[in-house]
Structure 1
Amino acid sequence: MTDTTAEHAAGHTARVAKESSARMVLFALSLGGFAIGTTEFASMALLPSFASDLGVSEARAADAISAYALGVVVGAPVLAVAGAKMRKRMLLIWLMLAFALFNTLSAIAPSFGLFTVSRFFSGLPHGAYFGVAALVAASIVPRNKRATAVSRVFLGLSIATTIGVPAASWMSQYIGWRSGFAVVGALSLATALAVYLKAPRTPADPNANPLRELGALKNRQVWLTLATGAVGFGGFFSVYTYIASTVKTTLGASDDMVALMLMVAGFGMIIFNLAMGALADRNLNLTAYAAFGGGAVVLALFPTAVAGGLWTMGIAVLCISVLGGVSTVMQTRLMNVAGEAQQLAAALHHAAFNVANAVGPFLAARVIAAGHDFPSSGYVGAALSASGFVLFAITLWDARRSGLE
């Protein structure tokens, strides 16, 4: 073997080893996304069970779900700033240990009050974990592969809607609702261990500090990008929240069909999350326009699709999941515009998406309460997705006017 051939072989081996190591890191980070996604979405499916067991009405039991969302909104910026000087690997480990603790407390809470408090504290690490995990994922790949790496982290969240939520729902029927939260606690511990073993042992940035992170709050591009995600992604949740009601009430189908339709939505999120990550690495702006624009069109057609029956509704639900890839696109754009305040901006992204989770269903509920059928949520979603399209255009216009694009 010549020296040149030997060098080529050694270089190839090194690249393969590096790619394999990166895949293991992304798997560890994605495992945390799976745990978080399972507890976030499964809580909605488990609501009737824990409401009955803890002796409260379903309307009041929904306060526990709201408490989790509030925890995400509060915890994302607070923990991101507080952990500014920590090594990202250690911050991720501590966040998942806290997530494990509070989900386990949710599983053993003897009263609704303590359950609600534990759900609030469970939400605190959510946004900070995803934000920091996205930064770690982006740091282990070339710059032109960052969106793809981020999509791999969010893949765990998408898989949770397809596998984790149905599994938790099934377990609640045969073992009890508490088992779902207990399993999430175990998954969180497994994530902490995986991150400890596989995440890069990069030293903390010596110049990092909370004040530098707070600089994100003065960056207009950060706020415009967050607003784009909060409004545009609300279109997805305006319909997703009422999928069960549409299937059972409007179409008169069974609970099995509800589970199947939710799995279709989760499958669509997996496909589009991966596709959007790859496309965003080629052209991020065009990918965002395609997601918001395509989402608006499909959402506007949703009532017509429902009128055609389960099959056409299923196709529409699959296509609406194109908005599931928006999270990856917006997270990557925040990395591009946040400057030195990467950690806070990345964490705020998930607070913004929890705002979307609140705004979409709230506006759709107002339309439904006015006497319209559940499929009318598609019109609300179309308006929000189209607004996201417009906000993104304003964001790019502002960036060009400021000389940032």
Structure 2
Amino acid sequence: MTQRHSLPFVVYLLGLTIFTLTTAEFMVAGMMPALSEAFGKSVGEIGYLISWYALGMAIGGPILTATLLALRIPDKRALVWLLGLYVVASLLAALSTDYAMLAFTRILMGVASSACIGVSLTICAELVPANERGRAASIVLGGLMLAPVFGVPGTALIEQFFGWRVSFAAITVLACFCTAIVMARVPASAGPEEVSLADEFSLLFNRRLWAAYATSGLIIGAAITAVSYFAPVFTELAGVSPRIVPMLLIAYGMANVVGNLVVGRFADRYIMPILAFGLLVLALALASFALFAHHLVPSLIAFFIVGLTGVSLNPAMAARVMGTASPRPLVNTMHTSVITSGIAFGSWIGGAGIDAGYGLTSPLWIGCIMASIGLLSVLPFLSRRERTCTAAPCSNVTG
């Protein structure tokens, strides 16, 4: 049995950084009425502020990462600069006087956020043995799971008592704290400084890497397609009071946390079996959710199981990507971009199904189909032995 070591404390601090970035991404959802009143925009237009952030992550993140690589900036210094950019953008968001300015700052925050996540995962991979990257990634990505449970409700609570600007200012302060932590605790040697932009791009010419990316996009897309529309499913089909919806969201977030920790515990040794089993369970849970949407107890059970799988498979997804190619910033940032694209596509196609007249359960069936396709994308790799890359570009098979 492989010996397991305690993870460096800085891995947990990087998790706090991801928590900050993810809280900022979705905090708008908890203060839509206030922002709508402040800027004289509809709730739908305020909702686009989340989309602008996601757009910045999906498109701008890889471009910014490539720019930093072209300048040959070491990982630690790159993360400090990216967090500095994030602090400036967050402060400008808090000071925004019109909708256009706030939308621009949200795009800028998204660009910096995507690159930050990619570099954070790279530093994380350099700080631990190759056979513990999935476990370490589960801690770093745990910040992503905890943000909807604590961060988003926390910023909404701040807004209710002190106003939306103070909520944005709180994110700025937390981002400053994370920047100081990175400067003080991340080893200066983390990450090979001699890797060039050409080397990084060469890692992307790997069909197995893109197979891993595709599976990740399908997993996240399947989960988000359903979760984005869970509230009307419960309130209009299962008869749940709208006042209970926040509690359901918290329960879902806690299921994400539990699933993330369990998957992270075993991801390094059983990457492909975990992905295959997780996708099978996710597809069955979404189908059950759709079939029993009018019945409260089965719906609740299915919803909780979706929380235990879906997004919770992130550590296995990250371990697969980092085992297929060297865990460098561009590889990880591209992975973040694909996941973000899955979120955007899932939210859109779920709404399109409803608008097309297929009913409130249509996002659940669409998510089930996406999870099934994701399962099919994993099956060819199940019989192959998992191998891990630790440094230079490689094309090893994951699975």
Compute the TM-score of the two structures, normalised by the length of structure 1. 0.88
Per the alignment, do residues 206 and 169 of structure 1 end up closer, same or farther by CA in structure 2, a change over 3 Å counting? closer
What percent identity do the matched residue pairs reach?
A: 25
Q: Which residues in structure 2 correspond to 1:9-48 (within 5 Å)?
A: 19=6, 22-48=7-33
In the alignment of these two chains, the number of paired residues is 385
Contact 2:24 2:171 in 1 (8 A): yes
Match of 2:36 in 1: 51
Summarize the alignment of residues 345-364 of structure 1 with structure 2, pairs less than 5 Å apart: 345-364=331-350
Match of 1:223 among 205, 210, 214: 210
Counterpart of 1:328 in structure 2 is 315
Pairing partner for 2:363 from 362, 377, 386:
377
- Counterpart of 2:231 (choices 244, 247, 270) is 244
Contact 2:263-2:312 at 8 Å conserved across structures? yes
Quick check: 1:387 aligned with 2:377?
no
Q: How does 1:123-162 map to 2 (within 5 A)?
A: 123-162=110-149
Change in Cα spacing, 1:300 to 1:204, as seen in structure 2 (3 Å) is: closer
Check the 8 A contact 2:325/2:396 in 1, yes or no. no
1:233 is paired with a residue of what secondary structure? helix
Name whichever of 77-86 and 159-168 sits farther off: 77-86
Match of 1:299 among 268, 281, 286: 286
Question: In structure 2, what is the equivalent of residue 261 of structure 1?
Answer: 248
Deviation of 1:257 after TM superposition, in Å, equals 0.9
Mean Cα deviation higher: 258-267 or 40-49: 40-49
Is this contact kept in 1: 2:49–2:106, CA < 8 A? yes
Identify which of 47, 53, 58 aligns with 1:73. Answer: 58
Q: Distance in 1 between matches of 2:123 and 2:191?
A: 12
Match of 2:263 in 1: 276
> Per-residue deviation at 1:326?
2.2
Call closer, same or farther: CA 1:397–1:83 in 2, change over 3 Å: farther
Return the match for 1:168 from 138, 149, 155. 155
- Provide the residue aligned with 1:121 in structure 2: 108
Report the Cα distance in structure 2 between the residues aligned to 1:56 and 1:399, rounded to whole angstroms: 54
Return the letter of the residue paired with 2:127. Answer: I
- CA offset at residue 115 of structure 1? 0.6
Corresponding letter in the other structure for 1:367: G
Letter in 2 for 1:240: V
Q: CA deviation at 1:396?
A: 6.3
- Residues 151-178 of structure 1: per-residue CA shift (max 9 Å, x gap): 0000111111111111122222222223
Partner of 1:289: 276
Contact kept, 8 Å, 1:75 with 1:126, in 2: the verdict is no
- Corresponding position: 1:63 with 2:48: yes
Quickly say closer, same or farther: Cα 1:131–1:204, change in 2 above 3 A: closer
- Structure with bigger helix share is 1
Letter in 1 for 2:225: S
Distance across 2 between alignment mates of 1:312 and 1:257:
17
What letter is aligned with 1:24? F
Deviation at 1:252, TM superposition (A): 4.5
| Structure 1 unaligned spans of 5+ | 1-14
Query: Which AA in structure 2 matches 1:83?
Result: L
2:186 to 199, 205, 226: 199
Deviations 1:134-156 (A, max 9, x none): 12222222222110000000011
In 2, Cα distance between equivalents of 1:261 and 1:207: 48
Q: Which amino acid in the other structure matches residue 139 of structure 2? A: R
The alignment's C-alpha RMSD in Å is 2.4
Q: Which segment is superposed worse, 253-262 or 123-132?
A: 253-262
Return the letter of the residue paired with 1:30: G
TM-score (norm 2): 0.90
